[in-house]
Amino acid sequence: MTTNNELLLRPISDLMKQRFFIPSYQRGYRWTQRQVTDLLNDIAEFQKNSESSSRKAFYCLQPVVVKQCGEEWELVDGQQRLTTICIILLYLKDIAAILGHSGYSLRYETRPESATFLSNIDSEHADDNIDFYHMNQAREAIDAWFISRPPVYKLSFLQTLLNDDEAGKNVKVIWYQLSEQANVTEVFSRLNRGKIPLTNAELVKALLLNAGNFSQVTELSVRFNQLRIAQEWDETERRLQQEDFWYFISNHTRESNRIELILGLVADSLKSGISRQDPHYIFLSFAHYLEEMHQDPERIEKVWLLIKQRFMLLDEWYRGRVTYHLVGYLISNSESVIPQLISESESCEKKSVFIGRLKQRILRIALPGLAGSLSRERTDRSTQIDATISALTYPERSLRPLLLLFNIAILLTNKTSSTRFPFRHYKLDAWDIEHITSVSSQMPENISGQKAWTEVMREHFRPHNITEKGLDPARSAQHLLFKRAEELLLEEPFDSEKFEAYFSDVLNEYSRTPQQDRDDNIGNLTLLDQSTNRSYRNAIFPVKRNRIIEADKTSTFVPPGTRNVFLKYYSSNVHDMTFWNTQDQDSYRHAITDVLTVFFDGATYATR
């Protein structure tokens, strides 16, 4: 009996003559014909692909979780897979006997008749109970699958299924043996809650803590190193649970086992030859590596050091203000860039060289037309950037990464500020490219949207503490728009034709920029989270401005560039907060140009 959970890869041939029992807390066999056929197809595909592979290639089944009980194994998880393999072996038992294999046995703790039926599946009794039915369905699926292939194929298939490790090119299971102290019903409940299997993280952790992988001769020294690695593992997981750190290195929501991101990076570097499509690619890569290093007494320490080094590099990037923003921007664009950044970091002797290469990568994303041609001279560089962004129009795909970079660069180019761009908010909220001044193409098309827009305008134009008689000429137009909004909302049914005229009149009244000049150029676009955007979508500039101010007051994250736009921070004329005009647009575009011109200092420039 083992006092610790143990984990290893075992070929199916190792299971022959073993005795398993299905405990009472489990339901019976329930695999469908489709699932059985999928398993057969997967093994057949592996067999075909392995013809040109090394002898060490193998096909891996999902984990089998067991606990030793005397001469038998209590099957905690993996019943469906082992039962299906058992039915295949019984179907091919004559050929298996020639190869010297007699299979393994399965019994059901509370359903002994199911074991009897399994050993001799009889279609006439298939409807006697639900276990019999599914076992018979599996047997028929196996029969139909082999009938469609040449008779000699049965031998080659069985050899693949039952080859030992010496012969290679075989089928294995992830064998997870519970300790004698383990509570099997608790383990079963955890594994099957929501049908969640053992994760790669849990499997790798068990592999690293397996007492058999340590070289120390005393049980005390083994236990000490197990506890040390377990503690360091937990500390790493706790760090990854910090949301700001997690959303710096990841674009995906994940509540637990976040360490798998680090493990995946290490697995990629091990180059095990395991298919990345395999659901247990990470675990199998580590298991394969440890098998390759079986003669190295320090193999566990070396593997754990690789994991720690990957984590510490990401943590170092996070703590550095410049690397935080540059790496965070690149990961926001694509999480798959992390291995390339690691490789690049390791190849750079100086941090400044690495920073320059990061900016090179950013340039290819935000301003792809300037990659390889950006001038070293600041004046020329400014001219290049301004010409490039002036040519951009909504909804070009490059606008979003460009505006994200602008917001990050505002913070990064301010040497006196310690403020960090919150990638957590950027990734958890859905972000939009928003028009600063609404355009005619944004007119709501459905009745509910038109009503909502009219209600927003009614509240904005509502006269407060001013009687109609006392309105001055500057406010009379606003009062008229208020009255029209009220009248529209009182009509039943809602009149879409009147709304269209009202929408057009409001936009014309609140814009001093010709329609063709204010629509889709960079000077009329900003980055905003979707929830705030929806709250004022299609509204006029002063309404949007008020909403932005309210969001900022309530600590809702507003990107610095967006906040600056609606406060007219970049505009030379700040006396009129009612309009966003051509001059405002030009000033905003120049601000983007200036910030990016400074930001790309230190990038790799064209030779001139």
Q: pLDDT tens for residues 116-158?
A: 999 999 999 999 999 999 999 999 999 999 999 998 999 999 9
**Contact, 599 vs 409, CB < 8 A?**
yes
**247 vs 541, more confident:** 247
Q: How far is residue 210's CA from residue 227's CA, in Å, rounded to a whole number?
A: 11
Question: Which phi and psi (to 5°) does residue 601 adopt?
Answer: -60, 135
Structure tokens at 584: 């405002």
- Please report the pLDDT score of residue 605 as a whole number: 47
Q: Residue 600 pLDDT > 70, yes or no?
A: yes
Task: Report how far residue 401's alpha carbon sits from residue 397's, in angstroms, rounded to the nearest whole number.
Answer: 8
Task: Name 377's Cβ contacts closer than 8 Å, sequence gap at least 6.
Answer: 608
Least confident of 207-221, 330-344, 485-499: 207-221
Average confidence (pLDDT) over 385-403: 93
Per-residue pLDDT reduced to its tens digit, 296-314: 888 899 999 999 999 999 9
Q: How confident is the model at residue 70 (pLDDT cuts 50, 70, 90)?
A: very high
Nearest alpha carbon to residue 2 among 172, 207, 124, 177: 177
Of 11-15, 184-188, 370-374, the range with the lowest mean pLDDT is 184-188
Q: What amino acid occupies position 458?
A: R
The one-letter amino acid at 598: V
Per DSSP, the three-state class of 422 is: coil
Q: What is the mean pLDDT of residues 325-331?
A: 98
**Amino acid 430: pLDDT:** 77
Query: Each residue of 4-33: pLDDT tens digit?
Result: 678 889 999 999 989 999 998 888 899 999
CA distance 480 to 58: 78
Judge if pTM exceeds 0.85. Answer: no
Q: Half-sphere exposure (CA, 13 Å, Cβ side) for 165?
A: 10
Question: Could you check whether the bond before residue 151 is cis, i.e. omega within 30 degrees of 0?
Answer: no
**Cis? peptide before 463, omega within 30° of 0:** no
Q: What is the mean pLDDT of residues 178-197?
A: 78
The per-residue pLDDT for 464 is 66
Query: What are residue 305's DSSP bridge partners?
Result: none
pLDDT confidence of residue 467: 47
CA distance 40 to 284: 21
pLDDT above 70: residue 112: yes
Residue 542 is predicted with a pLDDT of 80
Average pLDDT, the chain: 88
- Cβ count near 84 (within 10 Å): 21
**Residue 474 clears pLDDT 80, i.e. is over it:** no
Q: 341 Cβ partners below 8 Å, 6+ apart?
A: 327, 330, 358
**From 190-194, 346-350, 464-468, 484-488, the region with the lowest mean pLDDT:** 464-468
Q: How confident is the model at residue 435 (pLDDT cuts 50, 70, 90)?
A: confident
Give strand pairing partners of 526. Answer: 434
- Confidence band of 259 (pLDDT split at 50, 70, 90): very high
* Percent of residues in the chain assigned helix, strand, coil, to nearest 5: 60, 10, 30
pLDDT confidence tier of residue 1, bands split at 50, 70 and 90: low
Per-residue pLDDT, 604: 54
Q: Residue 517 above 80 pLDDT?
A: no
Is the pLDDT assigned to residue 73 strictly greater than 90?
Answer: yes
Give the largest Cα separation in the chain, rounded: 106
Single-letter amino acid code for the residue at 459: E
- Residue range 397-413: mean pLDDT, rounded: 94
Residue type, 405: L
Q: Over range 333-347, report the average pLDDT.
A: 95
What is the rounded average pLDDT of the residues 396-418? 92
Number of neighbouring beta carbons within 10 Å of residue 374 = 22
Going by C-alpha positions, the residue among 302, 297, 246 that lies closest to residue 270 is 302
HSE-up of 83 (CA within 13 Å, CB side)?
A: 30
291 or 526, greater pLDDT:
526
For residue 469, is pLDDT > 90? no
* In the chain, where the domains are located: 6-196, 399-599
Tell me the C-alpha distance between 221 and 138, whole Å.
49
d(Cα 403, Cα 561) in Å, to the nearest integer?
8
At residue 343 the predicted structure's pLDDT band, cuts being 50, 70 and 90, is: very high
Q: For 376, which DSSP code? A: S
Phi-psi group of 447: left, alpha or beta (phi > 0 → left; psi -120 to 50 → alpha; rest → beta):
alpha
Identify the weakest region by mean pLDDT among 97-106, 383-392, 412-421, 436-445: 436-445
